[in-house]
Structure 1
Amino acid sequence: MYSLSQLKRGFATPALFLREANRLYHRRLNSRDYNTDGVDIFAEDWDNLLILDACRYDMFAEQADLGGRLESRVSRGSSTREFLKGNFQGRELHDTVYVTANPQLYRHRDWLNTSFHAVDHVWMEEGWDNEHMTVLPETTTTAALRAAEKYPDKRLLVHYIQPHYPFIIDGDGSQPFDPDQAFLKPDEAGSWNQLLTGDLQASTETVWCAYRNNLDRSLPHVVDLLADLDGRSVVSSDHGNMVGERARPFPIREWGHPRGIYTDQLVTVPWLVVEGERRDIVAEAPTSRDDETTDDVVADRLEQLGYL
């Protein structure tokens, strides 16, 4: 159900109202709370699963040259929260170590009630880059390599934040887009919703360029990780992204990755298989380590990543 304030906001902003109507359509009048047509990632065959957050299949197919065999899968979510709900909730995954640059598992840990052998929250203090307001892909790769060495007999699930917003602007002038456009300013938190409502401005071409650049920025570090991992590796995504395409059934121009809307751009994700010598995987009780941080830190990270 929606609160009175949410209903008022929806009626005041037609695009948000129509987004909600589209969500009701895709979720079959809220009879399902994630995309039940999607795959269970833990039922798939892999030793290492590398998640590129918000990476569309078509963009990955055009830009990524990592070797291996490219397939596609349908995700259980059009947002990270839905992806986690559809794949993680209520499960004991004691054969898996989760290395994540995304705070969403931590934020929703109580109701997700998921148990891994170990979790490395890379987005906490040491892994967070205060200049770019994100976790850089090289930082995620370093954490993943550390985990692979420490837990050689576990499945390794690595969650990069790129190509998800914010867009990395390195300050060397190499980016072919204009960082002065409001949505791209590296020192100001923005969101895809603000593009939908018109509260922030950026051209479709500029956003596409920045989004593609974020994938290019991350791929060399994915290559480095793949080169050092044993086993069968898969590169995939939790969900895709929309960059001004028309949604359905109400054809508003949609931006970002709103939960509960299962267009091809949002739920068709890459599934690149890179074969390697398999390793023996065993399940063991979770480690005692339990990283914690304050609610303020979590809220700040989520805002900088465009969630709030």
Structure 2
Amino acid sequence: MTFTDWVEETRRQIRQDGWQGVQDSAYKFYVGTFRRLGGVWNFGTPIYEEDWDMLVVLDACRWDLMAEVAEEYDFVDDEWTYSVASSSAEWMEKNFRQTYATEMARTAHVTSNPYSEQKLDPQTFAYLEEVWKHTFDRDVRTIPARAVTDAAIRAGREQDHERLLVHYMQPHHPFVRKPLDKGIPRDEFSSTPWDNVWHKLRRGQLEYEEVWDGYLDNLRYVLDDVALLLENVDAERVLITADHGNLLGEYGLYAHPDYVPLKPLKRVPKCVTSATDEETHTPDTDAETATDTDEVSREEQLEHLGYK
């Protein structure tokens, strides 16, 4: 966004939202200063520079969030690394590039993140299943963890590959079991479809403790499914990590804006374990028959997940 674009958007927001529009526009300008820094300075380890047979990616999972549940799951610890990115789209851009064409061609990739349509080329992978295309829970406005687990188990048992990459949508909001952001319906006074949990936290409409509690519960929700995955696929070395973290007020920032090279945002878990297919679970459906009761477009999904 150029400065002129920002000025025009600020005028529009002030007309629509008054003082709140001024605050939101100032916040966007502030975020933009960090993005400009990210254009010249970056750090982090690409995923194909790590050693793994199966990579489990938890979307928007902070390192300290994972460390808090380390004693609850035998495959979780408090180790960490730095991601190459601060958002999902940026993470895909920087990890799935021509430099790693050979490794990608040997990878079966199961993802629930809708940016896959924009950032991933199916021809570059041994197999690619975009779970969000066939399964979306409109009630909680996200892709259920179990649909991802089922797709990953199918890929692990049926596909010919050397590596398996599984990208869950959680603990990224919306929080499945403790929703805090039902949102504000679109109306003539606002261009924002709904206020997500990070907007509300920044504006003081939610307390930090209740947001952290919901975020933590969303992590437990997905880790319960990761536990199921680990006993239904074979992988000698499993790496559990995240595409990026999430800011909860550090440096005055919230959520996970792209190209923001801040350590609290880019520090992610690095848990090493293994997996053995004990056949304790049979996926309910295959990719061709798995459906949602309502059609939900990619743009709508991105909006529900707070990307729009």
Q: Distance in 2 between matches of 1:108 and 1:48?
A: 21
Larger mean CA deviation between 70-79 and 157-166 belongs to: 70-79
- In the alignment, is residue 100 of structure 1 matched against residue 111 of structure 2? yes
Distance 1:189 1:162, change over 3 A: farther
Paired residue for 1:244?
249
Query: Which of 33, 36, 54 pairs up with 1:24?
Result: 36
Question: In the TM superposition, what are the counterparts of 1:157-306 in structure 2 within 5 Å?
Answer: 157-169=165-177, 175=178, 179=179, 183-185=181-183, 189-191=194-196, 194-195=199-200, 198=203, 201-231=205-235, 232-245=237-250, 247=251, 253-275=252-274, 297-306=297-306
Paired residue for 1:71?
79
Distance 1:63 1:229, change over 3 A: same
Residues 230 and 274 of structure 2 are in contact (CA less than 8 Å); yes or no, is this contact kept in structure 1? Answer: no
Paired residue for 1:42?
48
Residues 38 and 76 of structure 1 are in contact (CA less than 8 Å); yes or no, is this contact kept in structure 2? Answer: yes
Distance 1:190 1:276, change over 3 A: same
Q: Distance in 2 between matches of 1:114 and 1:206?
A: 43
Larger mean CA deviation between 230-239 and 4-13 belongs to: 4-13
Query: Which of 58, 63, 70 pairs up with 1:57?
Result: 63
Offset at 1:151? 1.7
Taking structure 2 as the reference length, what is the TM-score of the superposition?
0.77
Q: Distance in 2 between matches of 1:143 and 1:63?
A: 25
Q: Distance in 2 between matches of 1:192 and 1:79?
A: 17
Distance 1:23 1:193, change over 3 A: farther
Taking structure 1 as the reference length, what is the TM-score of the superposition?
0.77
- In the alignment, is residue 115 of structure 1 matched against residue 115 of structure 2? no
Distance 1:214 1:261, change over 3 A: same
Give the structure with the larger helix fraction: 2
Q: Distance in 2 between matches of 1:159 and 1:103?
A: 11
Residues 96 and 157 of structure 1 are in contact (CA less than 8 Å); yes or no, is this contact kept in structure 2? Answer: yes
Q: Distance in 1 between matches of 2:82 and 2:118?
A: 25
**Which one-letter code corresponds to 1:267 in the other structure?**
K
Q: Distance in 2 between matches of 1:142 and 1:201?
A: 37
Secondary structure of 1:120's aligned partner = strand
Secondary structure of 1:73's aligned partner = strand
Query: Which of 128, 133, 147 pairs up with 1:124?
Result: 133
Offset at 1:23? 2.2
Secondary structure of 1:81's aligned partner = helix
Consecutive unaligned residues of structure 1, counting only runs of 5 or more, are 170-174, 248-252, 278-288, 290-295
Q: Distance in 1 between matches of 2:125 and 2:5?
A: 37
Distance 1:61 1:184, change over 3 A: farther
Consecutive unaligned residues of structure 2, counting only runs of 5 or more, are 12-21, 186-192, 277-287, 289-295
Q: CA RMSD in A?
A: 2.8
Secondary structure of 1:219's aligned partner = helix
Paired residue for 1:2?
2
Larger mean CA deviation between 135-144 and 12-21 belongs to: 12-21
Distance 1:145 1:113, change over 3 A: closer
**Which one-letter code corresponds to 1:230 in the other structure?**
D
Measured against aligned partners, the alpha-carbon deviations of 1:124-151 in whole angstroms (never above 9, x if no partner) come to 13x2112211111111111110110112
Distance 1:186 1:18, change over 3 A: closer
Offset at 1:203? 2.4
Paired residue for 2:159?
151
Aligned-pair identity in percent equals 32
- Equivalent pairs counted in the alignment come to 266
Measured against aligned partners, the alpha-carbon deviations of 1:250-295 in whole angstroms (never above 9, x if no partner) come to xxx2110111222222101111000468xxxxxxxxxxx9xxxxxx
Residues 190 and 304 of structure 1 are in contact (CA less than 8 Å); yes or no, is this contact kept in structure 2? Answer: no
Distance 1:61 1:186, change over 3 A: farther
Q: Distance in 1 between matches of 2:231 and 2:241?
A: 17
Residues 70 and 273 of structure 1 are in contact (CA less than 8 Å); yes or no, is this contact kept in structure 2? Answer: no
Offset at 1:237? 0.2
